[in-house]
């Protein structure tokens, strides 16, 4: 089996990871988390969302976070923008990349962003245009590509249709998301293979929540196809407020351990990611969900 020699990781812990946290996480903590993640070597750190604070209160401080971080040259600081209001926030915050987020499931689109798939694309169109006009990158997310918490099965044709609509908007990257972590590797391969017929594979990324413990296996299935970009979340933080019961993204530490063990380069320092994972987990009053983080911490404790 031939695997890519280099993989890009988009670290989404400060956004996807924290958006569902019930306890107030001060901006100072979010800023320190983003700074620690930049220092660990990620090329793209998703740092917040410009969405309705009534819908996702935890992201209401995204402008403060973006204003407070230490920007490392070359790092892309990305934020979610569901509409032009969100885009204006992202522009004022000097985001490098905006993420427009749609769904392959009608039911999820209505619940998450309060409009149909077709309406969402029309909301995203001016966002994508304005981002391009301002020299910003545009990434898209296709939620529920492996199944929906409301409508159940989602067809591969529906995923491909969504990918084509995003391709038409001129996106630089399209992420295929398993929002509820329900997918298994053969289905993941089929979905990504079909998506790659509609959009270049080297601009498609994988976003796997780990609810059913399948996420690393699904990353591996994607690597076998040649996918080279994945979203992951430090300490396995997270979940979507509109996907009840879904757990966080696959833990960054677990994916890095797997990739580095396979000889795949990421440019990311696993030890620094573990420290960032310990830092945020301590603030939240829990142990990291990442098994690699816990295993390495136990090993260090034994050696000390």
Could you list the active site residues? 240
Only one of the segments 37-45, 49-57, 185-193, 292-300 lies at the binding site for ligand HMG (rule: CB under 6 A); that segment is: 49-57
The two tokens of residue 288 are: 């990291």
Q: Which two tokens stand for residue 142?
A: 């296709």
Pull the structure tokens for residue 123: 């909301």
Q: How far apart are CA 220 and CA 218, in angstroms?
A: 5
| Whole-number Å distance between alpha carbons of 171 and 94 | 19
Alpha-helical runs (H) found in the chain: 27-40, 62-68, 84-92, 106-113, 117-133, 156-168, 185-195, 215-225, 252-261, 270-284, 291-303
Report the partner that residue 82 touches, choosing among ligand HMG, Mg ion, none (CB closer than 5 to 8 A by kind): ligand HMG
For position 51 contacting ligand HMG by CB under 6 A, the verdict is yes
Residue 113 makes contact with ligand HMG by CB under 6 A: yes
Cα of first residue to Cα of last residue in the chain, in angstroms, is: 39
Task: Tell me if 151 contacts ligand HMG by CB under 6 A.
Answer: no
Tell me how many residues contact Mg ion (CB under 5 A): 1
CB 166 within 8 A of CB 142: yes
User: Does 49 participate in binding ligand HMG (rule CB under 6 A)?
Assistant: yes
232 vs 278, which CB is nearer to ligand HMG? Answer: 232
**Beta partners for residue 48, in sequence order:** 79
* Interface with ligand HMG (CB under 6 A), residue from 3, 55, 150, 212: 55
Asked whether position 16 contacts Mg ion by CB under 5 A, the answer is yes
Q: Residue 277 Cβ, how far from ligand HMG at the closest point, in Å?
A: 19
Query: Footprint of ligand HMG on this chain (CB under 6 A)?
Result: 16, 19, 49-52, 55-56, 80, 82-83, 85-86, 101, 112-114, 141, 143, 177, 179, 207, 209, 240-242
Query: Footprint of Mg ion on this chain (CB under 5 A)?
Result: 16
């Amino acid at each position: 089996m031939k695997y890519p020699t280099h993989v890009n990781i988009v670290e989404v812990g400060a956004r996807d990871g924290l958006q569902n946290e019930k306890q107030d996480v001060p901006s100072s903590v979010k800023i320190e988390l983003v700074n620690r993640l930049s220092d660990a070597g990620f090329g793209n750190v998703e740092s917040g969302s410009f969405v309705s604070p009534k819908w996702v209160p935890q992201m209401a401080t995204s402008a403060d976070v973006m204003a407070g971080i230490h920007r490392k040259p070359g790092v892309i600081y990305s934020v979610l923008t569901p509409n032009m209001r969100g885009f204006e926030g992202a522009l004022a915050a000097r985001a490098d990349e905006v993420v427009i987020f749609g769904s392959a499931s009608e039911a999820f689109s209505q619940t998450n962003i309060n409009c149909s798939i077709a309406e969402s694309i029309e909301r995203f169109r001016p966002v994508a245009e304005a981002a391009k006009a301002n020299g910003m990158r545009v990434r898209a997310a296709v939620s529920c590509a492996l199944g929906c918490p409301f409508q159940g099965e989602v067809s591969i044709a529906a995923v491909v249709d969504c990918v084509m609509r995003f391709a038409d908007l001129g996106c630089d990257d399209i992420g295929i998301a398993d929002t509820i972590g329900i997918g298994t590797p053969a289905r993941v391969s089929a979905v990504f293979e079909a998506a790659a017929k509609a959009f270049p594979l080297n601009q498609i990324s994988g976003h796997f929540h780990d609810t059913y413990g399948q996420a690393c296996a699904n990353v591996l299935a994607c690597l076998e196809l040649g996918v080279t970009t994945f979203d992951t979340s430090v300490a396995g933080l997270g979940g979507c407020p509109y996907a009840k019961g879904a757990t966080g993204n696959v833990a960054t530490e677990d994916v890095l351990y797997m990739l580095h063990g396979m000889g795949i380069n990421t440019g990311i320092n696993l030890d620094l990611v573990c420290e960032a994972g310990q830092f945020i987990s301590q603030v939240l009053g829990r142990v990291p969900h990442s098994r690699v983080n816990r295993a390495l911490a136990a090993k260090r404790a034994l050696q000390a």
